[in-house]
Amino acid sequence: MPAAWYFDVVSPFADLQWRRLTSLLAAHDIRPVPILFAAVLSAIGNRAGGDSGQAHLHLPARRLARATGRLPVGTTRG
């Protein structure tokens, strides 16, 4: 029975994961299973971190960005 490798197709890390997985597929019995993680969270009544209503937790980073003129890591100017 093959092992299942679940991965979120919209994740920015899926491409990095896939590059590593292709070499493992040749050596082992692994079946890749694409999923939508947001749908999984919805099915169990949960939400993603960005949708949790906790935007106030990012306020210190925004204030720091305004004060220093630098963006926090992982953000872009919109």
pLDDT in tens, 10-64: 887 887 887 778 888 888 888 888 888 888 888 888 766 655 555 555 566 667 6
Domain count, the chain: 1
Domain-embedded: residue 53: yes
For residue 32, give the 3-state DSSP assignment. strand
Q: What is the pLDDT of residue 74?
A: 57
Domain-embedded: residue 73: no
Domain-embedded: residue 28: yes
Q: What is the pLDDT of residue 78?
A: 47
pLDDT at residue 66 tops 60:
yes
Tokens linked to 46: 């949960």
Domain extent, residue 8, equals 3-68
- DSSP H or E stretch at residue 33: strand 30-35
Domain-embedded: residue 76: no
Domain-embedded: residue 75: no
Domain-embedded: residue 24: yes
Task: Tell me if the pTM is above 0.75.
Answer: no
